[in-house]
């Protein structure tokens, strides 16, 4: 899976900036790319741009109760994670996750959860998520597993250290 490192810049963007990649990667057979909660004030969207400024990855974070951890005090849902096929394995997804987790931790999140495609579960595991359900189907999309990451024990610098880009990756820079 590991490809040549592609430096990306991660920044917060408006929901509509994510639509093209959502459509191409997550809904290639059709289906809505505008989702409930996209424009909620607490929701934020991140885009990873390559050196030419093109959006090569997107993700959304929003506060939402976790179906599997009802006791979580401040749970956030990760949704709509997608990177362009040409950049996969080069760190764009990890850069988006790192920035998103740092931002929700700074907002007081104690848990992040997602419905993960089984094909992407290993990607999330590499960033500290754990599978907490059996497999379930999302009609028209495919098999998923529930995954969570506890943030409470970590402060933002610890999170950044856990998720930092590999030393050999010149990669992920941030802007806001």
Ligand X SMILES: CC(C)(COP(=O)(O)OP(=O)(O)OC[C@H]1O[C@@H](n2cnc3c(N)ncnc32)[C@H](O)[C@@H]1OP(=O)(O)O)[C@@H](O)C(=O)NCCC(=O)NCCS
Q: Name the residues that contact ligand X, by CB under 6 A.
A: 1-2, 25-26, 81-83, 87-94, 116-117, 119-120, 122-123, 126, 166
Give the three-class secondary structure for 26. helix
CB of 111 to ligand X, least distance (A): 17
Contact 127, 59 (CB under 8 A): no
With CB atoms as reference, the residue minimizing the distance to ligand X is: 93
E strand or H helix at 173, and its extent? strand 173-174
What is the C-alpha separation between 102 and 78, in angstroms, rounded? 13
Backbone φ/ψ region at 61: left (φ over 0), alpha (ψ -120 to 50), beta: beta
Choose between 57 and 151: whose C-beta lies nearer to ligand X. Answer: 57
CB of 59 to ligand X, least distance (A): 8
CB of 9 to ligand X, least distance (A): 14
CB of 37 to ligand X, least distance (A): 16
Gap between the terminal Cα atoms of the chain: 29
User: What are the start-end ranges of the E strands in 43-157?
Assistant: 44-49, 55-63, 75-83, 111-117, 130-131, 136-138, 142-150
CB of 109 to ligand X, least distance (A): 18
Choose between 88 and 103: whose C-beta lies nearer to ligand X. Answer: 88
Choose between 27 and 69: whose C-beta lies nearer to ligand X. Answer: 27
Choose between 62 and 83: whose C-beta lies nearer to ligand X. Answer: 83
Choose between 60 and 94: whose C-beta lies nearer to ligand X. Answer: 94
């Amino acid at each position: 899976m590991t490809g040549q490192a592609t430096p990306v810049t991660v920044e917060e963007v408006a929901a509509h900036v994510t639509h093209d990649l959502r459509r191409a990667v997550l809904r290639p057979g059709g289906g809505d790319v505008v989702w409930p909660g996209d424009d909620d004030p607490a929701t934020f969207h991140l885009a990873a741009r390559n050196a030419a400024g093109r959006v090569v990855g997107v993700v959304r974070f929003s506060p939402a109760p976790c179906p599997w951890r009802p006791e979580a005090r401040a749970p956030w849902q990760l949704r709509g994670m997608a990177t362009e096929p040409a950049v996969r394995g080069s760190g764009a997804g990890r850069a988006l996750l790192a920035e998103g987790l740092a931002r929700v931790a700074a907002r007081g999140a104690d848990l992040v959860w997602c419905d993960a495609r089984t094909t992407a579960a290993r990607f999330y595991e590499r960033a500290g998520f754990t599978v907490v359900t059996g497999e379930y189907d999302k009609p028209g999309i495919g098999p998923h597993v529930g995954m969570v990451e506890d943030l409470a024990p970590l402060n933002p610098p610890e999170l950044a250290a856990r998720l930092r880009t590999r030393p050999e990756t010149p990669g992920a820079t941030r802007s806001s």
